Amino acid sequence: MWFFPAPYPPEDRGLLLNLWFANLALYMPLVMRYLSGKVNAEDQAVCEHLQSIAHQIDGLPILGLQEERIAWFEEAYADAIAASRK
Residue 2 lies in a domain: no
Residue 19: per-residue pLDDT = 87
Number of compact structural domains in the chain: 1
Q: What range does the domain containing 81 cover? A: 15-85
Residue 71: per-residue pLDDT = 84
End-to-end CA distance of the chain: 48
Residue 3 lies in a domain: no
Residue 30 lies in a domain: yes
Residue 6 lies in a domain: no
Task: Give CA separation, 15 vs 5, 12, 19, 23, 85, in Å.
Answer: 20, 8, 6, 12, 75
Q: In tens digits, what is the pLDDT along the chain, a chain of 86 residues?
A: 566 677 777 777 788 888 888 888 888 889 888 999 999 999 999 888 887 776 766 666 666 777 788 888 999 999 999 999 87
Residue 21 lies in a domain: yes
